[in-house]
């Protein structure tokens, strides 16, 4: 099946640098996204913790590579299972975003409750997966900004990619957030 985001007869995403080699594109993406993520540490994208805010973060991170940076995907995608179908992204987003920030703010004075509530919403946002590529990095930046607003630091250096991926897959495939919650228990700390 053809993917409008990829070059003809290829699985390489169309990009501003016109790179047609998957490994070269990955290297460029890692390098360019890292620079933009570093910028966000100094100057976060402020917003209302809604879909528009998430889109603006995605646009900032991937602006150097993809014309569709910050835009909702128009094709269905899957890893182990199908993420939210294209035709349901807007509707599902309306069930996630209005309560994500407010629920976290409501329990911000209790670390354990905050982590539990935060994890639940993080898992829902992962299932949404609104972009063709770059969902994880965008979601993590969104989560860092939300944690800061609630008085916490989300420091993902206390975990690794494999642990985060395993927790996300277990959550998405089985609805079991215990792995993700364990990750966040190690990574979320109050400002001191």
What is the pLDDT tens value at each position of the chain, 192 positions in all? 468 999 999 999 999 999 999 999 999 999 999 999 999 999 999 999 999 999 999 999 999 999 999 999 999 999 888 999 999 999 999 999 999 999 999 999 999 999 999 999 999 999 999 999 999 999 999 999 999 999 999 999 999 999 999 999 999 999 999 999 999 999 999 987
Q: How many separate domains does the chain show?
A: 1
The pLDDT value given to residue 2: 63
The pLDDT value given to residue 178: 96
Assess if residue 5 is contained within a domain.
no
Assess if residue 16 is contained within a domain.
no
Distance CA 172, CA 188 (A): 21
Contacts 24+ apart (CB under 8 A), 89-93: 89/128, 89/130, 90/51, 92/127, 92/128, 93/51, 93/128, 93/130
Assess if residue 98 is contained within a domain.
yes
The pLDDT value given to residue 123: 97
The pLDDT value given to residue 80: 83
Distance CA 84, CA 28 (A): 28
- φ/ψ of 134, rounded to 5, equals 90, 15
Instruction: Kindly report the CATH number assigned to the domain that includes residue 58.
Output: 1.10.3290.10
* Domain of residue 129, residue span: 22-190
Length of the chain: 192
C-alpha dihedral sign at 124, 127, 130, 136: positive
Assess if residue 15 is contained within a domain.
no
The pLDDT value given to residue 75: 97
Contacts of 159 (CB under 8 A, 6+ apart): 183, 186, 187
The pLDDT value given to residue 27: 98
């Amino acid at each position: 099946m053809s993917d409008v985001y990829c070059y003809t007869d290829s699985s390489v995403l169309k990009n501003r640098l016109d790179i047609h080699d998957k490994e070269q594109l990955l290297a460029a993406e890692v390098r360019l996204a890292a620079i933009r993520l570093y910028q966000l540490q100094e100057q976060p994208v402020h917003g209302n913790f809604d879909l528009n805010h998430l889109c603006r973060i995605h646009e900032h991170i991937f602006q150097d590579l993809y014309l569709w940076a910050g835009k909702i995907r128009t094709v269905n995608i899957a890893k182990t299972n199908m993420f939210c179908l294209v035709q349901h992204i807007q509707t599902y987003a309306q069930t996630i975003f209005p309560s994500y920030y407010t629920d976290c703010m409501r329990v911000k004075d209790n670390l354990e409750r905050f982590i539990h509530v935060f994890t639940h919403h993080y898992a829902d946002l992962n299932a949404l997966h609104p972009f063709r590529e770059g969902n994880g990095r965008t979601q993590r930046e969104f989560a860092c900004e939300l944690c800061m607003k609630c008085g916490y630091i989300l420091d993902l250096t206390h975990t690794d990619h494999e642990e985060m991926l395993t927790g996300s897959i277990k959550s998405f495939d089985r609805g079991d957030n215990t792995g993700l919650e364990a990750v966040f228990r190690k990574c979320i700390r109050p400002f001191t």
